[in-house]
Chains A and B, each alone.
Chain A
């Protein structure tokens, strides 16, 4: 490995940019393949670039035979991120639990009395409207978004913005009735039924969760499940009884 390659991998992480390092095993020749750019000797090989894009898509590192040569594709995707909209009571339990699961956690709430570091020690707290905060942070394929405010004026713009992003998980707290009304309101701003289907609502796995901690477990369980399925770690889709 070249020291410049190592620096590029570290920079990609800081910028939350997905990258695949291709290494030819016979001579350790390298190439860096990003979604929209390439670098290094192997970065000029179309077959390797195409294979690297596929590997990044499913987030899986693997060794392939390309043109009679063994090439190892090591995928470096940014760590998963959880963005919690609403610095509410449930968020105070959800944030530390998600941190334990190695999520990079951010809490977003424009209301100053709620969005304080004292209420969320050790977690990034952004005191802004969610849609504005999302634009700055950029919701990528390794980001999960959960809205918890119950307030349409805070939740709706957040969901609208999240649905236009690549976020792998979008969940919204609220009953079936609340969720149906939410769908109607978002339809008015151009969110089709098909787009809205990405929103997990009522949020979380159906485990009879009642307390904030139980609800946090049900939400995180669902995020883990969706993520594992996306990464191909869960073979067959499970049918969840209604």
Chain B
């Protein structure tokens, strides 16, 4: 909860500074996903991040989509399956799946 509000505060500051900004939100989880529904990641047009939508394994892909959303203004729905093996590779014993919604802040 406090994390989500920290994200919104930073997003507000970026907007005030005239930056393009997108917000990614975990909207569905299956299994033991690392971050709960409602977790958010704010991204500015330089790729700077605040918050998190996973333990670090999908942020890279989410930031790429967020940058695209800032450019074209269209919302996106992303599906990620975190296999146990992949999770192990990045140092997370999480597993599970997450769905992430990415939208531009207007």
A interface list, Cβ under 8 A from B: 1-3, 6-7, 9-10, 13, 23, 25-28, 60-63, 72, 74-77, 79, 102
Contact = CB atoms under 8 A, between A and B. Distances in A.
B101 A6 contact: no
Interface residues of B, number: 24
Interface in B1-54: 1-2, 4-5, 8-9, 11-12, 15, 23, 25, 27-28, 36-38
B96 interface: no
Contact of B77 (A3, A25, A79): A25
A10 B12 contact: yes
B105 A74 contact: no
24 contacts: A1-B23, A1-B106, A2-B105, A2-B106, A3-B12, A3-B15, A3-B106, A6-B105, A10-B5, A10-B8, A10-B9, A10-B12, A23-B101, A23-B103, A25-B27, A25-B101, A28-B75, A61-B27, A61-B37, A61-B38, A63-B37, A74-B38, A79-B1, A79-B2
B25 A74 contact: yes
Contacts of A63: 27-28, 37, 99
Contacts of A3: 12, 15, 105-106
B25 to A, nearest CB: 7
Interface string B76-102: 010000000000000000000001010
Contacts of A77: 1
Give the interface SS of chain A, mostly helix, strand, loop or mixed. Answer: mixed
A77 B5 CA distance: 11
Contacts of A23: 101, 103
A158 B103 CA distance: 46
A148 to B, nearest CB: 26
A1 B8 CA distance: 11
Contacts of B106: 1-3
Contacts of B12: 3, 6-7, 10
The 3 A-B residue pairs with the shortest CB-CB distance, nearest first, are: A61-B38, A28-B75, A72-B27
Contacts of B4: 74, 76
A9 B15 CA distance: 15
Contacts of A7: 12
Nearest to A7: B12
B74 to A, nearest CB: 9
Contacts of B28: 63
A210 to B, nearest CB: 33
* Most B CB within 10 A of own CB, among A26, A60, A63, A76: A63
A63 B77 CA distance: 12
A10 B4 CA distance: 11
